[in-house]
Structure 1
Amino acid sequence: MAGLNSVLLDPAIGVGANLAAWTSAGGGEGLARALDRPQDIIPTLRAADLRGMGGAGFPTWRKWTAAAEMADGEKYVVCNGNEDEPGTFKDRYLLRRTPHQVIEGALIAAVAIRAGTVIFYINPRQAESIEAMRHAVAEWTDSGLLTEVERVVGRNVRLSVAPSSGRYIGGEESAVVRWLNGSFPFPRRKPPFPFEKGVNDRPTLINNTETLANVPHILKNGADWYRNLGIGGASGTKLFSLSGDVLEPGLYELPMGTGLQELIFTHGGGMLGGRAFKAVFTGGPSNTLLTARDLDVPLDFDSVRSRQSRLGTGAMIVISEGTSIVRKVAEYVEFFANGSCGQCPPCKCGTFQMARLLDRIATGRGTEADRRALGHLCLILPGSGRCALIDGAVTVVQSSLQTFPEEYATPGV
């Protein structure tokens, strides 16, 4: 499944939960450099242009700087492995197959912000990932490798694995904090941000699994090395979860900036059954649809944004001609409706109503009034929730209405 310039999926580091094999393959060198010059960690990530791989693409160094600048005392690092959105399956692979690079990245984060507790927050449905991480954490704890980390951090360092709530909204960072504090994972409005008031009301740095997995390699090989892995103005590599109507679905690590057409037709083997390409849900089913006119787009955060969509998690759900866009959107909006936590009535009721209308249209029972009602909901619902769930649901509905209006005018196609 590894592609060109593979780093995270390099077969040489795919050593499961064996710490000795990880270190013999060069693991630990990034942490050693971080311990030698902790003041260089954040500047190196800034020079590398590492961004958050959980969806937002926010510069990693900014998050780390904010947490590092908080007053000394107990701080937390949380690896967010909740991964629950349809079409996304990269983090579970990293946690299950290469847990030590994730742990090393999290420990480098702990050194950078002087945190004493590192928590690996993992979806409970990913039982193999939880088992692998618990075994790997035990190896690190028993190895004595944490002693030098503790010396630099200035406090005891504890690693733990915490199953998440398993809910889709449980991956939103304020919901992560509330769950780890023993409450229901209701997202809340910010500020305060987790770096200000997180787990146990202490400064907390939350990063996606893939983001942390990149960190050891950047510290080991340098910022220039990482930047040069990308294409054009993009930096590093990206894990793409490719699924849908392609001949060879799977997880591909490719240079950031690889073209959409190359991902689908070269690495993915082209369209299933020889059908024509119709559209792709980018970054999971909560973004604007890309169509055949976008096949030339480089897959990096800025280029995809220039097409009014988002790279998101790197999930690419490919749809062929002959597949109903309305039916697919109906499935995804039902997922969002089921995932709503219910604390924001416009979100809970709005996603339910959109799912109901989409189901009517997709099954040939819709009317022009249903289509108009759907369009009206897309106008009044954005921004009405405490997290991005309702906005994501609206985005994909509105995009499908604008891009494939004929499917709504002729329901059931």
Structure 2
Amino acid sequence: MDKLNQVLLRDEIRVGAALAAWLAHGGGEGLAKALQAPDAVIGAIEQADLRGMGGAGFATHRKWTPVADAPPGDKYIVCNGNEDEPGTFKDRFLLEHTPHQVIEGALIAAVATRANHVVLYVNPHQPAALAALGQAVQQWQGHPLFAAIGQRVGGAVSLRVVPSSGLYIGGEETAVIASVEGSFPFPRRKPPFPAQQGVHGAPTVVNNTETLAHVPGILRHGAAWYRGLGISGAAGTKLYSLSGDVLRPGLFELPMGTSLQSLVFEHGGGMLQGKEFKAVFTGGPSNTLLTKRDLDVALDFDSVRQRESRLGTGAMIVVSEGTSIVRKVAEYVSFFAQGSCGQCPPCKGGTFQLMRLLNRIDTGRGVRADMEALENLCRIARGSGRCGLIDGAVTVVESSVHQFRAEYEALLTA
């Protein structure tokens, strides 16, 4: 684990640690400030420029504000810890190693929005995270700080852990809502948005685990402190899940805006011996690939978007020269095909056909007509599903063809 910055990854707080240990190291101070001035919380989050760390980088205060403005009644804060995408492993670390920080962030969100239900939604394939959260929840429920929240939101607050379906699609925010309601995680069309109609029809905030983990520090130290942690105008820190062909894969907390070059070659130790950098799948395998000419890019939401890609979850899957891009893309599209919920026929059928065509090309059985079919399918499939699964599959295929067309054509037999 990188030691440069430990805003989120606090070594002194380990699995199973008592709530008292978290509070002894400054935990709870952010929640106490929120209880003293609940109407100032959302403004602080906006000034800090906290973004959603689960994918799109949507401004956190814009999710919270409509829920806070909704009339009194049932409201939900849902911590989304489903995390099931290849190459992403940041949230499970937070849930296992600093569950009190995540819970405090969710409770601050409840104070700010006057929500009376807090749900910690966790992938059941992460038993250590479930165990740590279960213990942490029991400790919070018996603490005076938790009791004080009810006085601010106008009634008793529920705090519970809900295992997800364990399916990839279960991390999409409307699928999260369906799962919390006890249904199969079918994504729903938007609008209505969760802030308008979420769990059981109530206003709902769905935030990624890492997003909520940033909140206590912002309330404790202030928005200016948080913004100052970033580089060149980017705010805060980011957890980067680095994997693939590097010497030191792992989880690194670094200033938001750290360059791709620095992440791979300084913190990641560079490429495996005898290997050269070829490309990186950013934010998991559902985004545009970055190549050698992008090594200077600052890893923040806006800078990566300017390179026509997305930072996403901060996962960086590094690929070296000599590794087949076609093979990698075929593997990831297979993951998407298996993860499709089947609700939208264009998505289910489209991802399956993309997988079939990629496998034909990858195994040397493809012809030029297969390549043309692959590109045509990408053109017609985008936007055909209720969620972004088919769009993610299309994006990585189109990007790989654009960047590495010669690799594809070299595999065609005719």
TM-score range, shorter chain: over 0.9
In structure 2, the residue matched to 1:209 is 209
Alignment of 1:181 onto 2:184: no
8 Å contact 1:17–1:135 — kept in the other structure? no
In structure 2, the residue matched to 1:10 is 10
**What residue ranges of structure 2 are gaps of 5+ in the alignment?**
none
Compared with structure 1, are the counterparts of its residues 63 and 191 closer, same or farther at alpha carbon in structure 2 (3 Å cutoff)? same
Taking the TM superposition and a 5 Å limit, the aligned residue runs for 1:258-277 are: 258-277=258-277
In structure 2, the residue matched to 1:30 is 30
Alignment of 1:340 onto 2:340: yes
Cα distance in 2 for partners of 1:407, 1:43 equals 50
8 Å contact 2:378–2:394 — kept in the other structure? yes
8 Å contact 2:15–2:132 — kept in the other structure? no
In structure 1, the residue matched to 2:93 is 93
Taking the TM superposition and a 5 Å limit, the aligned residue runs for 1:215-254 are: 215-254=215-254
Q: CA deviation at 1:146?
A: 1.1
8 Å contact 1:276–1:321 — kept in the other structure? yes
8 Å contact 1:15–1:22 — kept in the other structure? no
Taking the TM superposition and a 5 Å limit, the aligned residue runs for 1:10-409 are: 10-14=10-14, 16-409=16-409
SS state at 2:273 partner: helix
- TM-score under structure 1 length normalisation: 0.98
8 Å contact 1:17–1:133 — kept in the other structure? no
Cα distance in 1 for partners of 2:197, 2:88 equals 29
8 Å contact 1:2–1:10 — kept in the other structure? no
Q: CA deviation at 1:268?
A: 0.2
Cα distance in 2 for partners of 1:17, 1:79 equals 20
Q: CA deviation at 1:6?
A: 2.2
Cα distance in 2 for partners of 1:298, 1:92 equals 25
The Cα offsets for residues 176-235 of structure 1, whole Å up to 9 and x where unpaired, read as: 111111211110110111111111111111100000000000000000000000000100
Q: CA deviation at 1:16?
A: 4.2
Compared with structure 1, are the counterparts of its residues 16 and 232 closer, same or farther at alpha carbon in structure 2 (3 Å cutoff)? farther
Q: Look up the equivalent residue of 1:113 and give its one-letter code.
A: T
Structure 1 stretch displaced more, 362-371 or 262-271: 362-371
Cα distance in 2 for partners of 1:204, 1:60 equals 13
The Cα offsets for residues 113-134 of structure 1, whole Å up to 9 and x where unpaired, read as: 1111100000110111011100
Q: CA deviation at 1:150?
A: 1.0
SS state at 2:318 partner: strand
Cα distance in 2 for partners of 1:3, 1:82 equals 27
Compared with structure 1, are the counterparts of its residues 149 and 356 closer, same or farther at alpha carbon in structure 2 (3 Å cutoff)? same
Q: CA deviation at 1:392?
A: 0.3
SS state at 1:12 partner: coil
- Count of aligned pairs between the two proteins: 413
Structure 1 stretch displaced more, 117-126 or 176-185: 176-185
Compared with structure 1, are the counterparts of its residues 79 and 412 closer, same or farther at alpha carbon in structure 2 (3 Å cutoff)? farther
Q: CA deviation at 1:412?
A: 8.5
The Cα offsets for residues 237-281 of structure 1, whole Å up to 9 and x where unpaired, read as: 000000000000000000000000000000000001231100000
Cα distance in 1 for partners of 2:270, 2:369 equals 38
SS state at 1:333 partner: helix
Cα distance in 1 for partners of 2:11, 2:96 equals 14
- RMSD over aligned Cα, in angstroms? 1.2
8 Å contact 2:259–2:298 — kept in the other structure? yes
Q: Look up the equivalent residue of 1:140 and give its one-letter code.
A: W
Cα distance in 1 for partners of 2:364, 2:244 equals 24
**What residue ranges of structure 1 are gaps of 5+ in the alignment?**
none
SS state at 2:142 partner: helix
Cα distance in 2 for partners of 1:244, 1:17 equals 32
SS state at 2:228 partner: helix
